[in-house]
Amino acid sequence: MPDFVSSFWSWFIIVLTVISIAGVFWLVRWMSETKAEAGAEPEPMGHVWDEDLQELNNPLPRWWLNMFYITLAFGVIYLILYPGLGTFGGVLGWSSKDRYEREVQAADKRFGPLYEKYLQEDLRTLVHDQKAMKTGARLFFNYCTVCHGSDAGGAKAKGYPSLKDSDWLYGGGPEQIKTSIMHGRNGVMPPWEAALGRQGVFNVTEYVLSLSGRKVNINAAQAGKEKFLQLCAACHGADGKGDQKQGAPNLTDNIWLHGGSQKTIMETIAGGRQGRMPAHKEFLGEAKVHLLAAYIYSLSAAKLNE
């Protein structure tokens, strides 16, 4: 509600809600006022079953009507006490955000000392603490699985990397992983179709595919190599092995963040790519990030190669 840019929508919701409640109250009263209540004989409604079984306009039982009225009264009281009428926050001042923040503060007070204890330990040492890794796994499931999958193998959608292999854009060491989580990453691959033309994009694609040992059009790859050295080597290196300082991927290992088909690579070169890893320092705090980085490092194949 606070995101509304005009008070019109707030008043629209308030008026609509009040009219709806009043309308339901009137409907219940109207449907319960029949001639039968005044002592007259109930009137048939025109519906007959089994030859002589008729529907009559008898009033609803009083206890049933009272349930409707109690429900309406509850709704009115709720809307006075709690948010629900446009931007009106309720006389109790309750909000889901405030409730969440109180719960977070209570959890930090209870578990904060534990995280601070882990913060004092070296990341490589922390990997061997099974209790710490169980806690790190819970942090991962809560905050990372949406993008990286519950098994850390990357989400089904392209552009979300696996954290289990040894291919890291910005480095797979525990300190580098911690930096990525703390401060986030912003990766940009510029579009090159305007500079290369459609044929040039195809040629560079063939050369890039050849770097990972794929079967390609040799003539096109040779033509693409020259353009690659002119336009791409500054980030990916002359040998195509990438540069972790810039977050430029290795093109020789046949691991592809956005897909490794010829069509997808052509799309990447022609239109460019943008990727963003949000920073978690302010949200999680360094102590939790420290433990989370150790857990992710424990999953990575890069750990086995050190």
User: pLDDT tens-digit profile of 25-59?
Assistant: 998 888 776 544 555 677 777 778 877 788 877 77
Report yes or no: 112 and 287 within 8 Å, Cβ to Cβ: yes
Q: Are residues 285 and 160 in the same domain?
A: yes
- Domain assignment present for residue 101? The answer is no
Tokens matching residue 221: 């790859």
- Domain assignment present for residue 270? The answer is yes
Q: Are residues 192 and 250 in the same domain?
A: yes
- Domain assignment present for residue 265? The answer is yes
In the chain, how many domains are there?
3
Angle, vertex CA 229, rays to CA 204 and CA 268, nearest 5: 35
Q: What pLDDT shows up at residue 136? A: 94
Rounded mean pLDDT of the chain? 89
Q: What pLDDT shows up at residue 38? A: 52
Query: pTM for the whole thing?
Result: 0.70
Q: What pLDDT shows up at residue 1? A: 47
- Domain assignment present for residue 298? The answer is yes
Q: What pLDDT shows up at residue 288? A: 94
User: pLDDT tens-digit profile of 231-252?
Assistant: 999 999 999 999 999 999 999 9
| DSSP sequence for 3-31 | T-SSHHHHHHHHHHHHHHHHHHHHHHHHH
- Please, which residues have CB within 8 angstroms of residue 274's CB and are 6 or more apart in sequence? 186, 187, 188, 189
Instruction: Flag whether pLDDT at 60 surpasses 80.
Output: no
Tokens matching residue 262: 């010829």
Q: Are residues 287 and 267 in the same domain?
A: no
- Domain assignment present for residue 105? The answer is no
pLDDT tier for residue 159 given thresholds of 50, 70 and 90: confident
The number of CA neighbours under 13 Å toward the Cβ of 130 is 0
Report yes or no: 293 and 277 within 8 Å, Cβ to Cβ: no
How far is the C-alpha of 119 from the C-alpha of 290, rounded, in Å? Answer: 6
Tokens matching residue 49: 């079953």
Nearest Cα to Cα of residue 59 among 35, 32, 26, 41: 32
Instruction: Provide the CATH number for the domain around residue 241.
Output: 1.10.760.10
How far is the C-alpha of 263 from the C-alpha of 250, rounded, in Å? Answer: 19
Q: Are residues 212 and 70 in the same domain?
A: no
How far is the C-alpha of 259 from the C-alpha of 193, rounded, in Å? Answer: 19
- Domain assignment present for residue 240? The answer is yes
Nearest Cα to Cα of residue 257 among 175, 163, 144: 163
Q: What pLDDT shows up at residue 107? A: 83
163 vs 36, more confident: 163
Structural domain boundaries enclosing 247: 187-277
H helices present in the chain, as ranges = 7-32, 62-81, 96-119, 123-126, 130-143, 145-148, 174-183, 193-211, 218-227, 233-236, 262-271, 281-284, 286-299, 301-304
Q: Are residues 156 and 295 in the same domain?
A: yes
Q: Are residues 240 and 262 in the same domain?
A: yes
Q: Are residues 87 and 204 in the same domain?
A: no
Q: Are residues 170 and 297 in the same domain?
A: yes
User: pLDDT tens-digit profile of 112-124?
Assistant: 898 999 999 999 9
Mean pLDDT in residue range 269-281: 94
Q: What is the three-class DSSP state of 271?
A: helix
Q: Are residues 19 and 75 in the same domain?
A: yes
User: pLDDT tens-digit profile of 250-267?
Assistant: 999 999 999 999 999 999
Q: What is the three-class DSSP state of 223?
A: helix
- Domain assignment present for residue 104? The answer is no
Q: Are residues 155 and 296 in the same domain?
A: yes
